[in-house]
């Protein structure tokens, strides 16, 4: 396993660890994990299979690291200490942070959202996703108890609907498309918290 800093040698695809990871994730998303072989990844990069095994012990290890990266970026939004924030303020930060994490790690989160639980690596990723969902639901419930948000929508349903909105980015947002990715965090927070009704009616 190459233990050099992940970003140190970017720009030489196939010869650095990041390049291998990016190429593998792209292929997993295009063809599915099961349908992609180590030889396919090597072929895409124009290197030998043994060049890949220099970086990763197995295809499963690549999947594990890729899913871990997606989950780490999402969980980071919940792992910040609460500090002075109310539950509602933390929710805003989580919605915005998760949206920014999706935009920044689009192929990795796309892979995560397609995981169906085949094998131990995928099972572990699904378990971390469930824990994430439960923590968001708990935050929604806390903001409801604070009286800061409506309580006529079940906390778990609200959490799932709002993350449905965020996760839908992997279906329609393209970094090279016309939509400004840096604006999406604002748009998600606005719709989730304030809704479509104009501020004037508040």
The residue ranges that bind a second copy (CB under 8 A) are 91, 140, 143, 147-154, 156-158, 160-169, 171-172, 179, 183-184, 187-188, 190-199, 201-202
- Residue pair 30/24 in contact (Cβ under 8 Å)? The answer is no
- Nearest C-alpha neighbor of 56 from the set 138, 146, 121: 121
User: Among residues 5 and 32, whose Cβ is nearest to a second copy?
Assistant: 32
For a second copy, the closer of residues 21 and 91 by Cβ is: 91
Task: Give me the least distance between CB of 79 and a second copy, in Å please.
Answer: 22
* Whole-number CA gyration radius for the chain: 19
Would you give the distance in Å from CA 181 to the centre of its chain? 14
User: Measured at the alpha carbon of residue 150, what is the angle toward residues 144 and 151, in degrees to the nearest 5?
Assistant: 65
Q: Which is nearer to a second copy, 46 or 196 (CB)?
A: 196
Longest dimension (CA), the chain: 63
Q: How far is the CB of 53 from a second copy (least distance, A)?
A: 30
- Smallest distance from a second copy to CB 153, Å: 5
Q: How far apart are CA 99 and CA 189, in angstroms?
A: 9
Cβ closest to a second copy, residue 69 vs residue 129? 129
CA separation for the pair 113, 171 (Å, rounded): 10
CB of 165 to a second copy, least distance (A): 4
Rounded CA gap, 59 and 53, in Å? 9
Complex with a second copy: residue 47 or 67, whichever CB lies closer:
67
Question: Within its chain, how far is the Cα of 180 from the centroid?
Answer: 18
Q: How far is the CB of 113 from a second copy (least distance, A)?
A: 8
The nearer residue to a second copy, 12 or 150, going by C-beta atoms, is 150
Cβ(94)–Cβ(158) below 8 Å: no
- The answer to whether the CB of 49 falls within 8 A of the CB of 20 is no
CB of 70 to a second copy, least distance (A): 16
């Amino acid at each position: 396993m190459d233990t050099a800093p992940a970003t140190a040698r970017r720009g030489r695809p196939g010869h650095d660890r990041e390049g291998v990871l990016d190429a593998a994730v792209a292929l997993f998303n295009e063809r599915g994990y099961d349908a992609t072989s180590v030889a396919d990844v090597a072929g895409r990069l124009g290197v030998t299979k043994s060049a890949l095994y220099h970086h990763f012990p197995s295809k499963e290890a690549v999947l594990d690291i890729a899913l871990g990266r997606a989950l780490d970026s999402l969980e980071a939004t919940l792992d910040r200490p609460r500090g002075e924030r109310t539950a509602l303020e933390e929710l805003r930060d989580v919605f915005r942070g998760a949206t920014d994490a999706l935009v920044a790690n689009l192929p990795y989160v796309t892979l995560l959202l397609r995981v169906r639980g085949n094998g131990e690596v995928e099972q572990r990723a699904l378990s971390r996703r469930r824990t994430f969902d439960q923590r968001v639901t708990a935050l929604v419930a806390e903001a409801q108890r604070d009286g800061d948000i409506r309580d006529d929508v079940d906390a778990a349903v609200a959490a799932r609907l709002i993350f449905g909105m965020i996760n839908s980015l992997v279906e329609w947002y393209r970094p090279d498309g016309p939509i400004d990715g840096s604006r999406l965090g604002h748009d998600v927070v606005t719709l989730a918290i304030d809704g479509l009704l104009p501020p004037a009616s508040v």
